[in-house]
Each structure stands twice: as structure tokens, then as C-alpha cells.
Amino acid sequence: MELELYNTLTRKKEKFTPINDTVRIYSCGPTVYSYAHIGNFRAYVFMDTLRRVLKYNGYKLKHAMNITDVGHLESDADEGEDKIAKAARKENKDPYEIAKYYTDIFLRDFDRLNIDRPEIICKATDHIQEMIEFVSEIVKNGYGYETSKGVYFDISKLDEYPVLSDRKVNEQIAGARVEVDQEKRNPEDFALWIKAPEKHLMKWESPWGLCYPGWHIECSTMSQKYLGDEFDIHTGGIDHIPTHHENEIAQSKGKCGKIPARFWLHCNFLTIDGGKMSKSLGNIYTLDTLQEKNIEPLAYKLLCFSSHYRNKLNFTFQGAISANTSLQRLREGYRKHLKGTDDVEEEIINNFQKEFHQAINDDLNMPSAMSVVWDVVRYPKKSKKLSSLLLEFDSVLGLKIDQGQEKQEIPQEIQQLIEERKTARENKDWELSDKIRDIIKEKGYIIKDSKDGMILEKFEK
Ligand code: AMP
Ligand code: ZN
């Protein structure tokens, strides 16, 4: 069955075939200066679905995602302070410490959303030498020039700019918003390599003095290092289209004359009251915020499937609570089929399979794919064959539908003890808490405390 993906570069849905046997993908990863919010994670849930759909279609993957731990300025248009350096200054910490702390939390949340990890996760600060070489090549090829502020890309040397976005360069005069840098040859020229002010925290020796990289050069360098001059798919959020990805394309053309990826896929925003969820607007929620309200991280993933990745998705707590209930229903539906003894004809299974495959291959149409999943869940005959089919679909959804427990009737007496133990723990009376746990065990129940809360399991004595 053909896989079609919408390519921002050509502005149409195209049949996807990889250059080689292995699909090579590059995804713009997080800037690790703060906690990633659920808006950010919409972009990574989309990335995860793409991986899983490609695997479902039988492809092997080589996928690189970067961690931006230097060089992302407050504005994408080369303005403001480096985000990591700013956080380090504010928190009075070493920038590497800041980056490591937020990277670890990001990857923990990645796992909570059961996001399939890219084969390569690479940090910008580990690739400084390669970036210097990349910039040197651009300069050598006549596309870059030095000013007192850094090394800039000369966009007038390109045959076409922009190619990805439809912004009109001549109409968008940089000086209208920011003071024009008189040393730049064209207002739209952008920084490849930035000369570091004396007190700047992260800087490296280079042919142009003590500098730090521009954000765009990181992605061009790492994608080329791991995936070659031309690879299959580049992903990111729609906010990357006009500047970051446009400039990545310019850089690769300046170095090796090629647009680096054949397909450019972009995920739309998670919004709140119609506006983008973003750190700068202060309207963000994290997975922890959801868990405080007893909404599982995977329920958020299910919520993401309610809208096509190219459309906006408006977040409400009501929506997230319903998604949480739906996730439990999905798992219950799976368990019912697992216990089922009815027979279901192969033709019915094949039809479901075909409809699901068609939906995901239609530019990852997850709302459509989910309606097939629900048809299987609600199918009146209960059969193990359908539970296996749901598990097969879950290789694309990544919702862990075979997890979760059946609702168990907890005796009043045990419930009372659980409440008492909760109070003991709130009072930090660990001795009493342990004692109550032992009493509960005597009565045939084991309590396990996990980061996601308490789990109660019955066992036969
Ligand atoms: P950042 O860490 O700011 O570089 O962003 C990481 C990723 O999150 C990028 O792919 C952004 O496009 C994406 N992103 C940021 N805010 C949102 C949002 N509200 N909805 C969807 N994606 C977002
Ligand atoms: Zn990038």
C-alpha cells in the first residue's frame, strides 16, 4: 500500500519512497533550557507516529534528533541572549549542568509518552569542530562572510531564497522590527557563527576568534554528519519553516549545493484558547501538571490523535480528562477481546487491517485510524484475533493498550487502611506507613509505590 506524506517543500501530498533501503530522518530536537511542555511534546508525538508508521510499512530507520544545548537565541532572527546561557545566569548554574538537567527530564517524559527513541540523539556541544568545518566550507564556497559580530550567510548568492516558506524577502525588511546591522550585505543574511562577548559563558576557539554556533548550523552539521548530504525526511514544528529550516536549506546549498532532505514535514501547534502554547506566553502545562489531575501521559498522546498533525489542536482539561477515560475504555475493550471465545472471519480482520493501514498511510491520518480502532474495540463478537489485531495497531499508536488492570473491588477494610497509610505518608510517618503496608499484605494485597502513584495488587496467600 502506498504511503503518502505532505511535503512542505512542494506544498502537496506525495508518494513516499526512500532513497535507500533505510529511511533516514532528521528531527529538530528540544532546546534544553527549561521543562518541555505538552505543546513541545505534540511535535515529538507526531515524530513518534511517523517512525511507527514507517516501521509498520516495513522500513528500517536511521533517525537522528539533536539536543540544542547552545546557540538558540531568544529570537530566531539572531536577536537576544542564548537561551541556555540566560537560564544558567538566572539560576546561577553552569550551562552544561542546566542542559543536562533539562535533557534528562525531557528524555524521561519522552519515555512516559512511549515515544520510540531515534537511533541517534546528538548534542550540539559535541559537534563544535564539525560545525567550524561546515562554516569554513560555506565561506570557502563564497556564501559566507565575516563581520565584527560573526560569520554571516549571504543569501543573495543563492539561486532562490526562500524555498520552503512563502515569505517575501524583499517585503520583509529586517530593519522594520530590529535595527539594521549595517555590516550585513542583505538584511535577511543570518548568523552562522557568532563572536562571543567577553562574559559569554559558552564559547570556543575558531578561525574567527572565540565564538559560539548559530542555531541553524547545528542542525545542518549534525544531519549531514549522521545522514549524509541528502536524506529522506526532515521534521519539526511549523514555527521552524520560515527561519530555521529555510536557513538550514540555505546552508546545505552553500556547502554542497543540495537541499538536504527530500521531504519536509511540519507539525502544527497545540493551542490554548486559540493561541500557541509557549513558554514565552506563560500558558504552558507539563506532563506533571496532567498527572496531578490524574491524567496519564499516554492519555495526552491519545488526545493528540484527535486532530491531524497539520491542524491545530486546542487543549482543554476537559478534553484531556475525556481522553483519559477513552484510554481506559480502549484497554478494557482490548481485555474483553483477549478473553473472548467468539470466532471472527478472516475477511473482517483483513478489512479492519486495510482501513487502518489506509488511514495511517494517508499522511498519518490518526483521527481516521482511531475510528477504525474504535470499530474493532466495539465489535460485538469478542475474539482473541481482534485483541491481536489491536496489539498490531498499537505498534503504531504506542498507547500500551495491553497495560492497566481490571477494576477490582477493594474491600472496605483495605480501603480504610490505604487511607490511613496515605495520611501517615503525608505526615512523613514512614514507620507507621510501613506497618500499615504489612497489615495490608497480611490481608492479601501488595502495595507498590511508583512515580505514577500507588498500585494495589491482590495475591493468593
Ligand atoms: P524548542 O524546545 O522551543 O526548540 O521547541 C521544540 C519543538 O516544540 C519544536 O519542534 C517546536 O516547533 C515545537 N513546539 C513548540 N511549541 C509548540 C506548540 N505549542 N505546539 C506544537 N509544537 C510546539
Ligand atoms: Zn533544527
The number of helix segments (H) and strand segments (E) in the chain equals 14, 18
CB atoms inside a 10 Å sphere around CB 359: 20
**Residue 236, ligand 1, Cβ within 6 A:** yes
Q: Say if residue 78's pLDDT is above 60.
A: yes
Residue 53, pLDDT > 80, answer yes
Q: What is the pLDDT of residues 279-333, one digit of tens each?
A: 888 899 999 999 999 999 999 999 999 999 999 999 999 999 999 999 999 999 9
Average pLDDT taken over every residue of the chain: 92
Phi and psi for 405 in degrees, rounded to 5? -115, 160
Three cell numbers at 387?
485483541
Ligand 1 centroid to 109 CA: how many Å? 15
**What confidence score (pLDDT) does residue 353 get?**
98
Q: What is the pLDDT of residues 355-374, one digit of tens each?
A: 999 999 999 999 999 999 99
What pLDDT is stored for residue 186 in this prediction?
94
This prediction's pTM:
0.87
> Is the per-residue pLDDT at 248 higher than 90?
yes
Q: What are phi and psi of 312, to 5 degrees?
A: -70, 155
- Give per-residue pLDDT as tens, 435-452: 999 999 898 888 887 765
Instruction: Name the residue at shortest CA distance from atom 23 of ligand 1.
Output: 40
Q: Rounded to an integer, what is the distance from CA 306 to the centroid of its chain?
A: 17
241 lines ligand 1 (CB under 6 A): no
Element spanning 79, H or E: strand 79-82
How many angstroms is it from 28 CA to the middle of ligand 2?
Answer: 4
The C-alpha atoms of residue 377 and residue 369 are separated, in whole angstroms, by 13
Beta-bridge mates of residue 384 = none
Query: For the packed helices 317-339 and 384-397, what is the interaxial angle rounded to 10 degrees?
Result: 140
Is 143 touching ligand 1 by the criterion CB < 6 Å? no
Nearest ligand to the CA of 247 is 2
Nearest CA to ligand 1 atom 3: 31
Distances (CA, A) of 356 to 46, 319, 368, 391, 394: 17, 24, 8, 13, 11
Residue 62 CB partners (closer than 8 Å, separation 6+): 22, 23, 24, 25, 119, 120, 226, 227
Q: What is the pLDDT of residue 175?
A: 43
Q: What is the pLDDT of residue 77?
A: 67
45, pLDDT greater than 80:
yes
Query: Looking at residues 418-423, what average pLDDT do you find?
Result: 90
Name the CA dihedral angle for 31, 34, 37, 43, rounded to a multiple of 10 degrees.
10
Model pLDDT, residue 444:
87
Assess whether pLDDT exceeds 70 at residue 335: yes
Whole-number Å distance between alpha carbons of 292 and 288:
6
Under the banding of pLDDT at 50, 70 and 90, the label for residue 93 is confident
Average pLDDT over residues 216-241: 97
Distance CA 170, CA 154 (A): 14
Kindly state the greatest CA–CA separation across the chain.
Answer: 81
- What is the pLDDT averaged over residues 81-95? 82
Q: How confident is the model at residue 274 (pLDDT cuts 50, 70, 90)?
A: confident
Atom of ligand 1 nearest to the CA of 72: 4
Specify whether the CB–CB gap between 173 and 187 falls below 8 A. yes
CB 287 within 8 A of CB 242: no
Look at residue 177 and tell me whether its pLDDT is greater than 60: no
Percent of the chain with pLDDT over 90: 77
d(CA 279, CA 260): 30
400-412 per-position pLDDT tens digit: 999 976 666 788 8
Q: What is the rounded average pLDDT of the residues 331-351?
A: 97
Return the pLDDT at 174: 47
